[in-house]
Chain A
């Protein structure tokens, strides 16, 4: 399949919509084990990204992703700003100035994004963070797309299901990173907000496939 500027534009708009619709939910999750601003911050960032896309009018997927990354970096704040900013920036760098990419290139870009957030945030799987969704999903994509030759449309349902499962799997974990880690065992029993916004990210990637 081909992933063009239009695809990425749809993806960002769908993700922004999910973030807006789930603003209170994400905030609630963050209030339980953080400081209650994840939903607010991500929604603000998403709206800023959409505005910048309008004014900057990027011409390639790489430009679009870079525009979004910079918007998130300068408006989201907290840890989510640098982390999600890195996601989009790394994807932009991986794609370069190609006008369209295929499934393999998309997965490689997501892999770079994962490496970026792990380097910046220094989290591993099991620490109750966005990595708990990112790593299993990217590994699954690498296996199916890079190794077995599937395309994203073929495996979308499984991707969404996996992301949702991994998001929920953060519930019993003890937080080892970020603000939630101050709570120690009191963080158990709550779903991680970063894992949740990550689930929405992958869901949006899939939903953008349908026109």
Chain B
């Protein structure tokens, strides 16, 4: 079972998003600014003329996604909804008008019914005013089957790579079509899967989103505290990681000589120590099949409040993606070469 529920470092459930944004603004004044009502985070140097504006967003509770990825070489703006709730069209509309630099707008949208609808509505509003808007949907979670009979695969850890690579392309001044092309390439070549040891508690709800007993874990979780596909008995992490990697590799087989970018992600409540133990097994599995780990990120990159668990994201790389991945980035949560 999850631990204590409303013992959180908050003042009140109604003010969590606003106060989080104020805290972020105070922490990174040289990198980001925050706009309230409607809420969005944007690059401190926006608008940057002559480049595509890259915008994403989603429910709050996944920090550092997306606000932590605003800055040079990544997102121009991020729109935070209420906890685990899609942002509303007015947020994306205002954000786009604030940061667009004359070369069009690209929305990176995680594949959830609400996110897709709200971003679509915002795109319509912007197009009606003459802006060029494109969208790429990220649907990398292999826990859910690609199906006409469901809402489709969820957008999870692959979003981080999509934002980094799209951000690099936009920073280089590529056209809207080219930035979209490369983000779509990421979307096609990235897969993820997550597991949870505990649920999480949405502040406004006051109780955990589901219940797990002491000896169980949830396989195939999303990032919104919803139950996953299968509940299973606890076992050593190497076995769990094997199951996770099997799921990914079955869906996107890799060959000897392939190169990948790897994200071993904490869901928020899992210690780094454990994430490194997860990564040890992931590295072994990839080494055994002759796949080169070009870049590895270990840490909390896309979380689900205080959920204990991990997700693994594997992005198959080519030369173009490797270059864009390596490009400079200067955001609260990701910084290199800047």
Contact A183–B229 (Cβ < 8 Å):
yes
Contact B114–A182 (Cβ < 8 Å):
no
In the complex, A164 has a CB within 8 A of chain B: no
Cβ of B123 to closest chain A Cβ, rounded Å: 13
Cβ of A186 to closest chain B Cβ, rounded Å: 7
Give every chain A residue within 8 A of B149 (Cβ-Cβ). Answer: 176, 181
Cβ of A194 to closest chain B Cβ, rounded Å: 11
* Assembled-state Cα–Cα distance A33/B209 (Å): 10
Known: A36-B202, A40-B204, A179-B151. A77 touches B226 (CB 8 A): no
Give every chain B residue within 8 A of A182 (Cβ-Cβ). Answer: 143-144, 150-151, 154, 222, 226, 228-229
In the complex, A50 has a CB within 8 A of chain B: no
Query: Which positions in B face A, CB cutoff 8 Å?
Result: 38, 59, 81-90, 112-114, 117-118, 121, 143-144, 149-151, 154, 202, 204-205, 207, 209-210, 222, 224-229
* Assembled-state Cα–Cα distance A31/B5 (Å): 15
Contact B118–A179 (Cβ < 8 Å):
no
Contact A80–B114 (Cβ < 8 Å):
yes
Contact A75–B205 (Cβ < 8 Å):
no
Query: Which positions in A face B, CB cutoff 8 Å?
Result: 27, 31, 33-37, 40-41, 44, 73-83, 120-121, 175-179, 181-184, 186
Contact B112–A179 (Cβ < 8 Å):
yes
Give every chain B residue within 8 A of A74 (Cβ-Cβ). Answer: 38, 88-90
Contact A77–B151 (Cβ < 8 Å):
no
Contact B205–A40 (Cβ < 8 Å):
yes
Contact A77–B224 (Cβ < 8 Å):
no
Contact A34–B88 (Cβ < 8 Å):
no
Contact A121–B113 (Cβ < 8 Å):
yes
Contact A177–B151 (Cβ < 8 Å):
yes
Cβ of A127 to closest chain B Cβ, rounded Å: 8
Contact A77–B209 (Cβ < 8 Å):
no
Give every chain A residue within 8 A of B229 (Cβ-Cβ). Answer: 182-184, 186
Give every chain B residue within 8 A of A120 (Cβ-Cβ). Answer: 117
Cβ of A136 to closest chain B Cβ, rounded Å: 21
